[in-house]
Amino acid sequence: MSEKEKSLNFLEHIIEEDIRKGFPKKDLRFRFPPEPNGYLHIGHASSICLNFGLGEEYKAPVNLRFDDTNPEKEEQEYVDAIKKDVEWLGYEWDRECYASDYFQQLYDWAVALIKKGKAYVDSQASEAIAAQKGTPTRAGEDSPYRNRSVAENLDLFERMRKGEFRSGEHVLRAKIDMASSNMLMRDPIMYRILHRSHHRTGNDWPIYPMYDWTHGESDYIEQVSHSFCTLEFAMHRELYEWFLDNVYEREKVKPKQREFARRNLSHTIVSKRKLLKLVEEGVVSGWDDPRMPTISGLRRRGYTADSIRNFANTVGIAKRENLVDVSLLEFCIREDLNKKAPRVMAVLDPVKVIITNYPEGQEEWLDAENNPEDEAAGFRKVPFSREIYIEREDFREEANRKFFRLKLGGEVRLKNAYIIKAEDCVKDQEGNITEILCTYDELSKSGSGTEESMRKVKGTLHWVSVPHAIEAEVRIYDRLFTDPEPDGHKDKDFMDFINPDSLHVTRGYLEPSLKDAAPEERYQFQRLGYFCVDKESSADKPVFNKTVGLRDTWAKIQEND
């Protein structure tokens, strides 16, 4: 077995086996088929990367198809958001398709099934139909309308199409086997009456096809060769095949459905219905809230397309579901931004430092490296002055020898600048430190080549010049849920695990190079983490979102496994 064969996942093995058995490689076609009833989330990202990745690997076209058969929940807003997300992830689709484009063909095929005696109109209430389905251990019961004549079924179905009946008055069911061990084969519903306007077809159709009837036939119309679904559709495969067998023409490609496992992410939910509840109840600000696991939320938080694609590839494809720790996703963005994000200085919990022996009114512009991981990133200028901000936690009046930051009588180096020594501090009436008085060694400027600049001190602090600082709103995010599996408790609602501290808003002071930073630009605030400019940011009111901290928690989890 070649190295390539060893590295194939089981879906690629299926494709390779089909090719070995004579399936023409030129006929390979894949699809990504979202329902436009919400925004895409990290789980969809894995499916996108799978299907479009296979398209890239086999140089095969990939369709973006919207399975838009439920006008009660679908909106053009979701269509537009999905297209933006797929493009942002770096993929191009061959054809933009809609199940609603096939409504007439699906209707015509349904008429053909009625004529074959394989479909009938049922006039019972939904509760009666559900009760007659039986159980996994008890066969279902035939509907009293199961043996309607072909002529009566054709008449009723045509009148359903014309809108003569109320919503829910009739349904069209496939006539298969009410005793099947697979309950999905017990005369499934193909069409229901629904007097609702569709986001694309308007009021043209008062009847809408069900997902199981639509999905496989849409694959067939588009000549998709391999239809990859998540595991919950495994039981649907038999029905998928039955519907296809009743329309399939031998000279055409017959799609093959196969299933792979979802990858669930810890401290997250990915149910669109439950994500919508978070939006509607104001737990989050919208579908693109940076705490949401949606692709738009991750993008707003500062995640890159490369990091999400790398996450999907790292997690891979499997046959069994498992829970992936969110720390792996954080590792992927940290690894990506370490190579790409410019380094800047910002102070989020400031205390003022006055350098008493630095000339009043003087300023100088120092060289600062933009990214040590990227030689081409170059340098920028940062201003230095008599008054600077440092982080409050970086100073203690007294500290033991393990504290390598600033303390009274101690020295530290200011990043890209000078060595300073803390001489005294000023406090308010409550005893809070308001100013730290320091002196600096004027010969110790970084990069100057002097003997004093080579002097080793154990601590290096980031800082921002007070007169040059830009004030910004900084949003610090934590996980939205306190439990690794908020959706995994039978006796509790997922809302019980909402983290009340998932968002902390603070004021920060930034170096002036960030004055014109644009939305979605990403930076490393040195010693603090990675941050992204929010879409609400403006020149008058800069807003930054924390993407992830600098600490590699995923590596520590791996070490403990």
In the residue annotation, 75 being an active-site residue is answered as no
In the residue annotation, 507 being an active-site residue is answered as no
Per-residue CA distances from 256 to 54, 113, 145, 325 (Å): 15, 22, 33, 32
Neighbours of 432 (CB within 10 A): 10
Encoding tokens for residue 178? Answer: 């009410």
How far apart CA 243 and CA 216 sit, in angstroms, is: 7
Per-residue CA distances from 341 to 311, 420, 477, 521, 539 (Å): 18, 28, 19, 9, 21
How far apart CA 504 and CA 511 sit, in angstroms, is: 22
Residues 6+ apart with CB under 8 A from 227: 31, 215, 216, 219, 240, 255, 256, 257, 258
What is the phi-psi region of residue 416: left when phi exceeds 0, alpha when psi lies from -120 to 50, beta otherwise?
A: left
Chain centre distance of CA 260:
19
How far apart CA 219 and CA 255 sit, in angstroms, is: 6
Of the candidates 212, 138, 199, which has an alpha carbon nearest to the alpha carbon of residue 172? 212
Name the catalytic one among 16, 35, 442, 521. 35
Query: Residue 395 is inside which H or E element, if any?
Result: strand 395-396
The residues pairing with 531 across neighbouring beta strands, listed in sequence order, are 523, 546
The residues pairing with 463 across neighbouring beta strands, listed in sequence order, are none
Encoding tokens for residue 300? Answer: 């707003």
How far apart CA 345 and CA 397 sit, in angstroms, is: 24
How far apart CA 87 and CA 91 sit, in angstroms, is: 5
How far apart CA 177 and CA 136 sit, in angstroms, is: 14
Name the catalytic one among 73, 118, 262, 396. 262
Neighbours of 547 (CB within 10 A): 26
| CB burial of residue 329 (10 Å; 0-12, 13-18, 19+) | buried
Q: 60-80: string of b/e by CB count within 10 Å (b at 16+)?
A: bbbbbbbbbbbbeebeeebbe
In the residue annotation, 73 being an active-site residue is answered as no
Name the catalytic one among 272, 301, 405, 413. 272
Residues 6+ apart with CB under 8 A from 393: 349, 405
How far apart CA 418 and CA 379 sit, in angstroms, is: 18
Angle between helices 103-115 and 211-221 (to 10 degrees): 110
In this structure, the strands spanning 171-174 and 189-193 are antiparallel
What amino acid positions are annotated as catalytic residues?
35, 262, 272
